Structure 1
C-alpha cells in the first residue's frame, strides 16, 4: 500500500516550489494531474543546458511520477475543465501571481463552493497577505532578502547563494507538511482549507539558530565561511593533497580528535580549547594548529582516521563522486526508469524511506500533454468525440 494511494492532486504549479511539493505527494502514492500551458508547458521545460536529447534536466528533477494534461487556462472552456477536475480532486497546488486564478474562476473561494473538502495550497514569494503580496518571488531574490546570503560565504568575501534553489525546495517541503496536516484535519472536520506558503517565510525560518541568536541577543550574525559560529573545529582543513571537512560537535569528540586522530592529547586539556565555548572563541588559534598538522598527510588518511575514532568528518565530494559512492546505490539515491524517448533514464530518487508504506516505484516525468486524453476520459468521462472537439478548438493539447 502507498501512503497517499487514492489521493487526487490537481497541480496548477510550475517551476520548482510547487512541482517539488506535488512530486513528493506523487512519490507517496497520490495521482498528480499536472496542468500545463499547451504553448510550451512548465517554464522549466525550456531551462537548459543541461539537457538530454533536447529535454531539460531541470524539469526532470521535480516532475517524476506525474501525469501531464495540457489545458489553455485563458479559454473559458479550459477553465471549466479545470473546475471539473477540482470538483473531483482532494488537493490543489498553485503558484500563480495573486489574483490570476481568481480572474479565471479558479481561486480558493470559487473552488471551495463546488468542493468544500478541497485543500487549496497557494505558494508565492511573499505570501497572499501583507504589503508585498502582489510581487512575484524568485529564489535568488528571496535568498538575498531573507538573510541567507548574508550569512553564506567567506568572512571577507561577497555574500553567496546556495548552489541550488533552497528557498523553492524548502517551500515545497513546507507545503507537503501543511497539506498532510490539512488532510488529517479534514478527517476530523470533513472540510478542506486554504494553505498560504511563502518563500520568504520559509527562507527566514531556515535561519534557525542564527535567527534565534539575533532575536534573543540583538547581535547581528556574521559570515564564517566554512566554519561554524558556535562550534570548533567545524570547518574545512587543508591536507597534503586537497581539503576535507571536520565536524567536531562536542568535547568528547574533540578529545577523540586530539588523542586518536592527531596524537596531540594535551590539546584537549589546554584551557584555550578545553570546552566548546573556549574553542569557538579561539577558533583561529585552534585552526592554525590543526592546519599545520593536517597538511602533513593526505585527505584520505585523515578521513579514515576520523572515521576510526568516531569523529564526524568527510571528504569533499564532487557530484559525480557522490553518485559513484557505494552508499548512493545502497540507499537508493538515484533510480533508473523506463522512458519512451531515452530508453533508460537516471533520476534522483525520493529521500523518504517508509517501511510499511514505501514510496511508489518512480515513473519518468511526462511529456507535455502526454496524459491529456487519459485524464479527460478517466476523470471527466469525456468520449472520443468530446476530446477531439476540445483539441480542434485549441482548449487542450
Structure 2
C-alpha cells in the first residue's frame, strides 16, 4: 500500500488523530477507511493503551490494534513541550482535521486550543470527543463509555425488569460518539467549501448515547412513561422476539407488520390467528404480546433452527439465527459484501481478519489498506521528512531530546 496516497471519497484530506483508546481512534479509523490520510500521534513515552487491549494475544501482541489503527500512519510527538507543539502546528498547517478525545481544557493548557489552531490554519476542523462536552457544569469531568451509557439513560433500557441493567460486551458509547464525530467532521468539511473556514465539532459520549434513544423523551414528556428494559423484546411490538428451536439455537422472528404476521400464521398452520381479534392488528398484538409469544414459542420449539429460518424466509417472514462470531466470519452474505477482510499485521507477520468498511460507496469505495503500525513512531521519518521537510539530523535531535 502507498499509505501517503490512499484512494476513496476522502482521498486528499489529511487527519491528525490525537485520541487514545476507543472514541477518537474509531473516528480516525472511519475517516481512514474512506481514504483520508490519517496520521496518528502518540506521546513518545505513552503510546495508545489500545495497543494492549483485546482478548486475543500472541507474543504480547493484541489484535484489537489491527482494527482501530488500520489505514493510519503512526508518529510520536510530545505536545507537552514547546518544540513538540511547534511541530504539531506545522502539521496542522498541512492538514484538514484534528481529532482528539482528551478531557476538555487539555489542548488549551498546552496552548493548542482551537483559537491557536485556526490562526495557523483557518480551514482546520477540530473534532473533540469528551464525556460531557466542551461546555456545561460537567464539562471538566472525566468520562468513559460505561458511565455515559448509564447517565444518558441508555443502560436503563437494557436487560430485564427488576434486574441490574447489564452492558453490552463492547464500548458502545465510544463507538456511537466516534460515529457522530465523523458525521460532524463531514458536515464541517462540506460547510468549509462555502465559507473557507473550519469549526469545532463537539461530541459528548453521554449525548451520543442519548441521541439513539428513539421516543423515550416524548414518551415521558407527553405520556409520563418511563421506558424500561423489556428483555428480549420491545413492549407493544409483536411478534418480535427470540424463540428457542428444537436444536437449542435461538431464532429471532420479526413479524409485527400485519402482512408479515399473516404469512407467519400461514406457515405455522394457523392462518386463523391473523383474523383473531386478539392479534388482528398492531395494537391488539401489543396488548396480547405474552399470549402470542407463547403460541409462537410452542411452534418454534418443534422446528430445527436452520430449516425454520429457511422456511420463514421463503414465505417472506423476517427471521434469522442468533450467530456467534464463529458463524459471522463464515456468513456468505457478509463474505460477498467484503465485510470480513484481511489486515496484514506486520508485527504478527500474517493476515488477521477484521470487519470490513461501512458504508459501501459505488464510485469512491473505502478500503482496508493496512493494519496498524507495529510500533509507535513507525512513520516518523516518512511524515516528518516527506511532509515537513525535516532532515535526518534534525529528526535525530528531536528524538534524542524526547520530542518525537
1:65-80 aligned within 5 A: 65-80=71-86
Alignment of 1:267-346 (within 5 A): 267-341=273-347, 342-346=349-353
Secondary structure of residue in 2 paired with 1:226: coil
> What is the CA deviation profile of residues 265-294 of structure 1, one whole-angstrom value per residue up to 9, with x for unaligned ones?
011111011111110111011111121222
Q: Pairwise mapping of residues 1-397 of structure 1 onto structure 2 (< 5 A)? A: 2-242=8-248, 243-259=250-266, 261-341=267-347, 342-367=349-374, 368-396=376-404
Give the alignment's Cα RMSD to 1 decimal.
Answer: 1.4
- Normalised TM-score (structure 2): 0.95
Structure 2: distance between partners of 1:214 and 1:116: 43
Report the alpha carbon displacement of residue 226 of structure 1 after superposing the two structures with TM: 0.8
State the Cα distance separating 1:343 from its structure 2 match: 2.4
| Distance in 2 (alpha carbons) for counterparts of 1:16 and 1:161 | 16
State the 1:350 CA deviation. 1.1
- Ranges of 4+ aligned residues in structure 1 off by more than 3 Å: none
What's the TM-score once normalised by structure 1's chain length?
A: 0.96
SS at match of 1:324: coil
Shift of 1:329: 1.3
Distance between the aligned counterparts of 1:111 and 1:21, measured in 2? 20
Q: CA deviation at 1:66?
A: 0.3
Unaligned runs of at least 5 residues, structure 2: 1-6
